[in-house]
Structure 1
Amino acid sequence: MYVFGGSVREAAELLDGSADEFVAGCARRFRELHGEDPGYRERASWPVLVRAMMRAGLGELWLGLEFSLHGTGQRVDALVLGTRADGGLQATVVELKQWSDCVLLEAEPSRVLVRGELLTHPCAQVAGYLWYLATWVRRAELDLLVRGVAVLHNASPSVVADLRGSVVRSTGSDEIAVLGRAELDVPEAVRAGLAADGLAGPADEQIKAVREARHIPPLSLFTELERVLNNDSSMTLVGEQQDALLELRSRLKAALSAPGRHLILVTGGPGTGKSVIAVRLLAAIPKLAEQLGTTCTARYLTPSGTLRWQLERAAGPAGKGLFHTVRGYLKAKPKERHVPVVDEAQRIADAVHKIPEILDATRLAVLFLDEKQIILPNEGITSDALERLAGGKGVTVSPINLVNQFRCAGSQRYLGWVDALLTQGPSPRPWTDDEYDFATVTDPQALKNWVDAHTRDGTTARISAGFCWPWTKGTAKDELLDDVELRWQDRASGAERELRLPWNSKFEKPDREGNVAIPHSQAWATDPGGHEQVGCIYTAQGLEYPYSAVVLGPDLVRRNDRWQARPDRSWDPAMEGVTPEQYLVLAFNIYRVLLTRGTRGCRVYSTDPATQRYLEHLIPTRAGES
């Protein structure tokens, strides 16, 4: 898929006819393919590349703008195809950047600072695409060579020189050419940057072969992924989680051997190892298929962008191309035999339509589901509904329930206690068990002191809260604003007190040395500096950390021995129009998730005085923890 596909000459003729119409046509196609508009800078780059290639005499080469990498949900800004002198094919990946300036980071050469935002060095970005093409695409079938170039049409010669110089010792990145404003006016430089000297226009059958090429990861990639996972403590399976993986492998082997279509449905609560097991299946499934004398590939799907980002980072290059959003996976329409492994399936928006699309795309799928983690009104499906849906499509369902949980210090009792707390049933008995460190605090400052003390000791601790305060969305250059305002009356003096903190940041923010001082939202739960911001359900769900501090906002309060939901006190735009009855279920689920993130301990505080008194009646209270 691409927004334009044809010879460079054809693109130039369209531009000469009407540049506005050419760009508008590409933008319409982009919208049809991706459901959103391209940015202004992207639209401005397309004509620049076409005209530079025409001046360089490369009009016969094939150009694909916004070329999708089949089956991955990813795309490159441009792909140039040409025939080599020996008759083979060359593909050149082009990364288009609109930067006029950037700041190089000595501590981290693979990244640069652009307009206050930390971004991947363009050479490192292109090197990643080349690694993918060299690893996933069956190049021998195409007789394909791959090359790469970064084009920065607004960059001065000094910026280009700095970018080149910063990666001279970075394997892979050091092979990527960089073209700036000056080079684009020099035909020889353009041909050299695109490695296009001696290339001729490709034959139609060669272009078709690239468009329809099989993108399949080799088994060696899964061996490397398994090695990475084995060396990552956060990906370690414990106790009955190992038994669950063995049981899953047995079910998968049976499904791969049997005719018809199959769904393995795995249910379980927080801490039962769903995400770790799901990722482990990426390496297990291809090996099982090989044992059976067949081939298939696995893809990990999740609606959670935060969880996917964390897993991609943990897996490193070994996991490139294996992790997807549900939407991106369905848009990619992979054709090879594959097994989608869907984590956090309860978070799929419009699930009654999306899940059938997943089932239709394959003969075997694995879904991981926790009904009590549905947090938005347009999300969710129950296991019963899912089994009925699959049965109606002739899909055989094989259910597995994960029971034991290893988060919250392995306390099944704590998880059950939280479940009992967040219902309209009778209150649970007061928490007295010392197998999990759980308490209330007297005020927000005590909550912050507790988090700071663990941070000083070198242990990760985080504050999360209900979405009950406005969230100022600034730019990468803007300082974070203290949107979360927590006010209380000091119990000793009666004085009014206040603690103000920012929400987690949309952008990474570096210090003066270029090191990350404030992580972006997807890294808030794990990276240094995150303890200074407040996380929400979207940045916490699917992740865990040793110590969790939770603020119950005014959206869920206790009145007359009953919980009362107040959707009007939520600042989450997704909750607009939700009734109190509908919101109550979602609020229970949201706070259940937040209260079960801590593996070693949890502190909780309610901004509502009556609710705080209720919590202190049930939970031991700590004052001024430090």
Structure 2
Amino acid sequence: MPLYRGSVSSIRAKTANGSLVPTLTEQFRHQIGHRPSPSEIKSWGRSLDVLATDLDEAGLAEVEVLVEYQLPMTSKRVDAVLCGRRPRTRHPQYVLVELKQWSSAHLLHDSETVCVLEGLGERLHPVEQVRRYCSYLGDFAAALSTSPSAVCGVAYLHNATDGDVGSLWQLEPDEQGRMFTSQRRGDFLRYLQHRLAPESGADVADLLLSSVIRPSKQLLALAAEEVQSREQFVLLDEQQVAHQLVTRAVERSLRANTKEVIVISGGPGSGKSVIALSLVGELSRQGRSVLHATGSSAFTKTLRRVAGQRAPRVKEMFKFFNQFGDAEWNSLDVLICDEAHRIRATSSNRYTPARLRTGHPQVDELIAVARVPVFLLDEHQVVRPGEIGTIADIRAAADRVGLTVREVDLDGQFRCGGSRLYEEWVLRLLGLEPGGPLPWEGDDTFSLGVAEEPSLMEARLHQMLDQGYGARIAAGYC
């Protein structure tokens, strides 16, 4: 969703009469929920005028421009997306433009993708920035899934000369990312003329803005290779039962055009996240459109690091619960909601754009977006006030739209040394099961100890490491 959409000629007209920046400011306030910063307002007035003037001079006055286009399911925005057709093939073409008012910058020592701006600190290299935007858009806009070459990107440093940003040229350009300065304005105009025909691009913009949002086949293939190849995803007993329940539900949904809800519940260490990652890998291998979502920033970032260690693009398949408010009904085959006990009443918070403040229950949004929404949860692990993820809540939401709910309870215990006694002792200690606390009487295969301060526990764990054991510290604010 852009802040403004119009032809180059309309942008030039609005720039001339002084109405473009007020229009962008008002749309920003309406969509995002607060006013843009003074620096952002100032940059619109300067950079967009430069871009529109250059496009007009290149004979591209009828090309359609999406100003401040928000990438799907993320808060990131592209300064401008130029929409048109290739001069020879007539195929749709999208040029993503990042406009920089930098007057000077240099690469960070020992890095090709991080640069330093005087007084402003470190920034991602603008070519790397726009290259990632191109990759992301190609991965999630279904309209582009069969033609990845339809998207290319440029960083236009219109206030800088080549010498002002000398070291930034060390990053090699490619079709999805290249850089131009004021000194290379002529090259920039020829680049645009080579990629965009001098005619209206309104229909091409329509195609992008109406596109279904889902992961592309290329991204799914990458996820299958990256995620499923990991040996630790070995499923046992009820874990395999839950995995098979989901894959059968997906087959039914596609074969018979049905929709159903799967709930997988289990305590700490029962393997819920192992199932979730295994499903991401398996369903990606099958070419199913699948995303993973949680309500925890730390957990999602950890999963992104684990699952996308060798293929950074895979990280984008890991989302947050509040990112599906404007997604289309059944736009995904599967949405895997891990730690679903952290579902909130609604997706709105102080950062939610005004257009997404629907007031709809968050669980309704999660159910709506996929043919098979899968919820993995532990009802005892609600962390913060306002989190309402329970089996009863999910059932009620499914009932509202007439959907079947299938449940699996993970009876196995794979953490805490597999000690059922310890699990029961903790649940009773915390009042999560009736009967009150019990004295710890021990378990032949499990040892429990209490340290009076963290340093003593750390020293004990170092002793274990010295003896050849594995050891770690886990901590949480709850």
C-alpha distance 42-277 of structure 1, shift in aligned 2 (>3 A): farther
Q: Is the 8 A contact 2:263 2:375 kept in 1?
A: yes
Q: Is the 8 A contact 1:226 1:280 kept in 2?
A: no
Could you tell me which residue of structure 1 aligns to residue 62 of structure 2? Answer: 60
Q: Provide Cα deviations, 1:52-86, integer angstroms capped at 9, x if missing partner.
A: 22332244322112223446675433211233322
Could you tell me which residue of structure 1 aligns to residue 178 of structure 2? Answer: 177
Q: Give aligned pairs, total.
A: 452
CA shift for structure 1 position 92 = 0.9
One-letter amino acid of the structure 1 residue matched with residue 112 of structure 2: P
Could you tell me which residue of structure 2 aligns to residue 343 of structure 1? Answer: 338
C-alpha distance 142-224 of structure 1, shift in aligned 2 (>3 A): closer
Q: Is the 8 A contact 2:108 2:116 kept in 1?
A: yes
Asked whether 1:310 is paired with 2:302, we answer yes
Asked whether 1:93 is paired with 2:93, we answer no
CA shift for structure 1 position 267 = 1.2
Q: Is the 8 A contact 1:123 1:150 kept in 2?
A: yes
Could you tell me which residue of structure 2 aligns to residue 441 of structure 1? Answer: 451
Could you tell me which residue of structure 2 aligns to residue 110 of structure 1? Answer: 113
Q: Is the 8 A contact 1:70 1:332 kept in 2?
A: no
Q: For 1:158-557, what aligned pairs fall within 5 Å after superposition?
A: 158-165=163-170, 167-168=171-172, 176-180=177-181, 182-183=182-183, 187-192=185-190, 194=192, 199-232=197-230, 236-240=233-237, 241-258=239-256, 260-285=258-283, 297-313=289-305, 314-315=307-308, 316-319=311-314, 321-333=316-328, 336-350=331-345, 353-423=361-431, 426-430=436-440, 432-433=442-443, 435-436=445-446, 438-447=448-457, 449=459, 547-548=472-473, 550=475
Q: Considering only aligned residues, what root-mean-square deviation do their CA atoms show, in Å?
A: 3.7
One-letter amino acid of the structure 2 residue matched with residue 366 of structure 1: V
Distance 1:419 1:50 in 2: 60
SS, match of residue 376 in structure 2: strand
Distance 1:28 1:83 in 2: 30
Distance 1:400 1:135 in 2: 32
Q: Provide Cα deviations, 1:530-569, integer angstroms capped at 9, x if missing partner.
A: xxxxxxxxxxxxxxxx522558xxxxxxxxxxxxxxxxxx
CA shift for structure 1 position 458 = 11
Distance 1:329 1:413 in 2: 40
One-letter amino acid of the structure 2 residue matched with residue 387 of structure 1: R
Q: Is the 8 A contact 1:63 1:81 kept in 2?
A: yes
One-letter amino acid of the structure 1 residue matched with residue 8 of structure 2: V
CA shift for structure 1 position 252 = 3.4
Distance 2:190 2:243 in 1: 51
Distance 2:120 2:439 in 1: 51
Q: Is the 8 A contact 1:72 1:321 kept in 2?
A: no
Distance 1:178 1:318 in 2: 22
One-letter amino acid of the structure 2 residue matched with residue 426 of structure 1: G
C-alpha distance 437-64 of structure 1, shift in aligned 2 (>3 A): farther
SS, match of residue 27 in structure 1: helix
Q: Provide Cα deviations, 1:204-238, integer angstroms capped at 9, x if missing partner.
A: 323322322445544453233122113446x6234
Could you tell me which residue of structure 1 aligns to residue 357 of structure 2? Answer: none
Unaligned runs of 5+ in 1: 291-295, 461-545, 552-589, 592-626
Q: Which moved more, 1:448-457 or 1:370-379?
A: 448-457
C-alpha distance 199-242 of structure 1, shift in aligned 2 (>3 A): same
Unaligned runs of 5+ in 2: 347-359
Could you tell me which residue of structure 2 aligns to residue 78 of structure 1? Answer: 80
Distance 1:15 1:340 in 2: 43
Distance 2:422 2:180 in 1: 58
CA shift for structure 1 position 14 = 1.6
SS, match of residue 427 in structure 1: coil
CA shift for structure 1 position 89 = 3.0
Could you tell me which residue of structure 1 aligns to residue 14 of structure 2? Answer: 14
C-alpha distance 381-157 of structure 1, shift in aligned 2 (>3 A): same
SS, match of residue 189 in structure 2: helix
Distance 1:111 1:448 in 2: 36
Q: Is the 8 A contact 1:102 1:112 kept in 2?
A: yes
Could you tell me which residue of structure 2 aligns to residue 120 of structure 1? Answer: 124
Distance 1:214 1:344 in 2: 26
Could you tell me which residue of structure 2 aligns to residue 578 of structure 1? Answer: none
CA shift for structure 1 position 96 = 3.8
Could you tell me which residue of structure 2 aligns to residue 4 of structure 1? Answer: 4
Q: Is the 8 A contact 1:88 1:143 kept in 2?
A: no
Could you tell me which residue of structure 2 aligns to residue 129 of structure 1? Answer: 133
Q: Provide Cα deviations, 1:37-66, integer angstroms capped at 9, x if missing partner.
A: 544444333333322223322443221122
Could you tell me which residue of structure 1 aligns to residue 354 of structure 2? Answer: none
Q: Which of 31, 34, 42 is equivalent to 1:33?
A: 31
C-alpha distance 154-378 of structure 1, shift in aligned 2 (>3 A): farther
CA shift for structure 1 position 159 = 4.9
Q: Is the 8 A contact 1:8 1:50 kept in 2?
A: no
Q: Provide Cα deviations, 1:307-364, integer angstroms capped at 9, x if missing partner.
A: 2233333323452542222222223447745332222222122158111233334443
Asked whether 1:147 is paired with 2:157, we answer no
C-alpha distance 74-275 of structure 1, shift in aligned 2 (>3 A): farther
C-alpha distance 342-140 of structure 1, shift in aligned 2 (>3 A): closer
One-letter amino acid of the structure 1 residue matched with residue 9 of structure 2: R
Distance 1:455 1:97 in 2: 51
One-letter amino acid of the structure 1 residue matched with residue 24 of structure 2: C
Q: Provide Cα deviations, 1:166-199, integer angstroms capped at 9, x if missing partner.
A: x23xxx768622234x44xx64143256565764
One-letter amino acid of the structure 1 residue matched with residue 395 of structure 2: E
One-letter amino acid of the structure 2 residue matched with residue 420 of structure 1: R
Q: Is the 8 A contact 1:84 1:200 kept in 2?
A: no
Distance 1:276 1:117 in 2: 39
One-letter amino acid of the structure 2 residue matched with residue 161 of structure 1: G
CA shift for structure 1 position 376 = 1.5
TM-score in terms of structure 2 length: 0.80
SS, match of residue 65 in structure 1: strand
Could you tell me which residue of structure 2 aligns to residue 608 of structure 1? Answer: none
Q: Which moved more, 1:95-104 or 1:394-403?
A: 95-104
Q: Which moved more, 1:131-140 or 1:79-88?
A: 131-140
Distance 1:249 1:390 in 2: 19
Distance 2:126 2:316 in 1: 18
One-letter amino acid of the structure 1 residue matched with residue 154 of structure 2: V
More strand as a share of residues: 1
Q: Is the 8 A contact 2:86 2:197 kept in 1?
A: yes
Distance 1:100 1:454 in 2: 55
C-alpha distance 226-15 of structure 1, shift in aligned 2 (>3 A): same
CA shift for structure 1 position 397 = 0.6
Q: For 1:575-594, what aligned pairs fall within 5 Å after superposition?
A: 591=478
Q: Provide Cα deviations, 1:94-121, integer angstroms capped at 9, x if missing partner.
A: 2345656656345443334566866533
